[in-house]
């Protein structure tokens, strides 16, 4: 893999198709597409999109579940130099709206429906906010001005050739990865082709992934981790990826057995649920040889348990959208278990990491806790249309991550937590302010504050701390019902803690969320919480 430095993402697919044309690239349900077929379909879609006006530098959103259609759309856009704007398929219209508006998308790719989302209705409801939106491409039925059926565009483009577009991998943007910020508004991390391609390669170094491997793809490819590890890495390595719309334990077991999956990339909850499934022994999972674990710090003993009970070599890494798509440190393949259990790795190749005092920005000694900062090829080019936040995050060429870490023996890094207020629920980062804004006007709620509480599977649960308004006490079911349809399901509170007052910081105005006697500690006491029935 000596030439990845000079490749754009479109060229990655073209090169793999030229070298292994008849090998299966993607499996999606009953659909099995070779590299030659995948590249031809991406070329065809690119030709049709060019014909209706898409050009280099335009933005187009992919608002889709994991699917063959998502893969085709992504690589078609990359061939044209159109910047992909990622939108989580679970997002509701209100959540997607800011991303689509901020990025000024010219087009959006959707399914007609998935789960209980009705995407065409959602996009129609946002039209007034999206003056730049000209084209909607629907995997399913589509008609009307500016609305195209995905399959029709692919079929029509098969008789045409896409235009040759000159792309500078180091300078030209491949995608915008939106991440929540301290203000509560998402920020679009600008990722170049070079950063995306090299990130795909760096993922492979943790598992010694190669051409003979078969990946299972349940991580959402709209997310930084899933994009780099599942959408880009297998195509770069000329491997095979078997897609899942969403993670379901026994469906994953079935696919591992049937497709002889060798690599599984996930978050701690995925492995915990697999280990705890009573039917695991009914499936032949012997093909599974290795995996990555990230998205949140792995609970103590989990990696050892996976290795012992599932016979799978598992290693941690650390990443973020700002070092997109998603890799900043990695533990090399065949590192001893005791290292993999304690640390998140060392800086990936040709990058640097410092641990600094969060206030003075002076580097701290090894073994001391400070804020993680990075520099190198993997750092984003900034936040889209947000120079103020860019200046706040990137200082003198160093990206400040807001994660507390220490550098330990042999340069390995250990993570302790976050300096920000985000909740990490199963790898999803959730901004409490967004949820508080929905609940603050509830007639039965006087005050509300959202905090994280411990969860043995997901890492953190979402707990709504509420001071009731009057004697009519609100319930957890009522709170969740009010929020349904307004936020993605993974953002719904798991717990409710009713309180008479909130602890305050000195001065008596600001809520004391953390530390001894803080809201998070009080909410974490089991006796005070209503919990969602599983």
The two structure tokens encoding residue 171: 């300078």
Fill in the DSSP letter of residue 378: T
Burial letters 42-57, b for 16+ CB under 10 A, else e: bbbbbbbbbeeebeee
| β-bridge partners, 429 | 424
pLDDT the model gives residue 181 = 45
pLDDT the model gives residue 526 = 58
The helix/strand count (H/E) of the chain reads as 17, 27
Do 261 and 214 contact (CB within 8 A), yes or no?
A: yes
Tens place of pLDDT per residue across the chain (534 aa): 456 678 999 999 999 999 999 999 999 999 999 999 999 999 999 999 999 999 999 999 999 999 999 999 999 999 999 999 999 999 999 889 999 999 999 999 999 999 888 999 999 999 899 999 999 999 987 777 899 999 999 999 999 999 999 999 999 999 999 986 434 688 999 999 999 999 999 999 999 999 999 999 999 999 999 999 999 999 999 999 999 999 999 999 999 999 999 999 999 889 989 998 999 999 999 999 999 999 877 877 899 999 999 999 999 999 999 998 989 999 999 999 999 999 999 999 999 999 999 889 999 999 998 899 999 999 999 999 999 999 999 999 999 988 888 999 899 999 876 666 678 899 887 878 788 878 887 889 988 889 999 999 999 999 999 989 888 889 999 999 999 989 999 999 999 999 988 887 544 445 777 777 888 889 887 556 777 654
Sign for the CA dihedral angle at 350, 352, 186, 268 comes to positive
CATH class of 423-531: alpha beta
Q: Which CATH number is associated with domain 194-221+230-418? A: 3.40.50.12780
| β-bridge partners, 508 | none
Q: What is the pTM of this model?
A: 0.85
Q: Do domains 8-167 and 194-221+230-418 have the same CATH topology?
A: yes
Do 96 and 31 contact (CB within 8 A), yes or no?
A: no
Pick the CATH number of 8-167 from 3.40.50.720, 3.40.50.980, 3.10.450.40, 3.40.50.300: 3.40.50.980
Domains of the chain, by residue range, sit at 8-167, 194-221+230-418, 423-531
pLDDT the model gives residue 533 = 56
Following DSSP, what letter does each residue of 178-239 receive, concatenated?
A: EE--TTSS-EEEEEEHHHHHHHHHHHHTTTT--TT-EEEE-S-TTSHHHIIIIIIHHHHHT-
């Amino acid at each position: 893999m000596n030439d990845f430095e000079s490749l754009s993402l479109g060229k990655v697919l073209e090169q793999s198709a030229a070298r292994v044309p008849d090998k299966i690239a993607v499996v999606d349900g009953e659909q099995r597409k070779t590299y030659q077929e995948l590249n031809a379909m991406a070329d065809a879609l690119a030709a049709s999109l060019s014909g209706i006006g898409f050009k280099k530098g335009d933005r187009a959103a992919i608002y889709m579940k994991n699917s063959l259609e998502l893969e085709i759309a992504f690589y078609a856009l990359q061939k044209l130099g159109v910047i992909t704007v990622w939108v989580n398929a679970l997002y509701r219209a209100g959540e997607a709206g800011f991303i689509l508006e901020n990025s000024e998308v010219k087009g959006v790719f959707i399914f007609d429906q998935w789960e209980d989302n009705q995407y065409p209705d959602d996009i129609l409801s946002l039209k007034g906010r999206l003056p730049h939106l000209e084209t909607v491409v629907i995997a399913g039925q589509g008609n009307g001005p500016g609305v195209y059926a995905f399959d029709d565009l692919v079929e029509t483009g098969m008789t045409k050739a896409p235009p040759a577009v000159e792309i500078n991998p180091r300078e030209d943007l491949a995608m915008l990865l939106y991440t929540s910020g301290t203000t509560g508004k998402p920020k679009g991390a600008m990722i170049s082709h070079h950063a995306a391609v090299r990130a795909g390669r760096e993922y492979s170094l943790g598992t010694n992934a190669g051409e003979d491997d078969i990946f299972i793809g349940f991580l959402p490819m709209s997310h930084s981790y899933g994009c780099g590890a599942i959408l880009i890495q297998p195509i770069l390595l000329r491997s095979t990826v078997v897609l899942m719309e969403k993670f379901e334990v026994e469906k994953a077991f079935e696919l591992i057995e049937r497709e002889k999956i060798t690599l599984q990339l996930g978050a701690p909850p995925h492995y915990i649920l697999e280990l705890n499934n009573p039917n695991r022994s009914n499936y032949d999972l012997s093909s599974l040889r290795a995996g990555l674990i990230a998205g949140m710090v792995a609970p103590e003993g989990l990696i050892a348990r996976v290795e012992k009970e599932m016979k799978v070599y598992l290693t941690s890494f650390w990443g973020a959208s700002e070092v997109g798509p998603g890799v900043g440190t990695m533990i090399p393949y065949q590192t001893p278990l005791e290292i993999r259990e304690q640390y998140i790795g060392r800086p990936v190749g040709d990058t640097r990491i410092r641990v600094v005092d969060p206030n003075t920005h002076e580097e701290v000694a090894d073994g001391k806790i400070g804020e993680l900062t990075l520099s190198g090829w993997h750092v984003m080019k900034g936040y889209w249309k947000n120079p103020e936040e860019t200046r706040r995050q990137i200082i003198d060429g160093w990206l400040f991550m807001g994660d507390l870490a220490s550098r330990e023996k042999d340069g390995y890094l250990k993570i302790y937590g976050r300096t920000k207020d985000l909740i990490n629920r199963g790898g999803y980062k959730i901004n409490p302010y967004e949820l508080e804004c929905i609940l603050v006007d509830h007639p039965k709620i006087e005050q509300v504050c959202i905090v994280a509480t411990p969860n043995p599977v997901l890492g953190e649960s979402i707990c709504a701390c509420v001071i009731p308004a009057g004697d009519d006490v609100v319930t957890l079911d009522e709170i969740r019902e009010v929020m349904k349809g307004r936020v993605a399901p993974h953002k719904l509170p798991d717990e409710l803690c009713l309180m008479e007052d909130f602890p305050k910081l000195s001065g008596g105005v600001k809520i004391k969320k953390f530390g001894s006697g803080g809201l998070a500690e009080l909410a974490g006491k089991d006796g005070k919480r209503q919990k969602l029935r599983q």
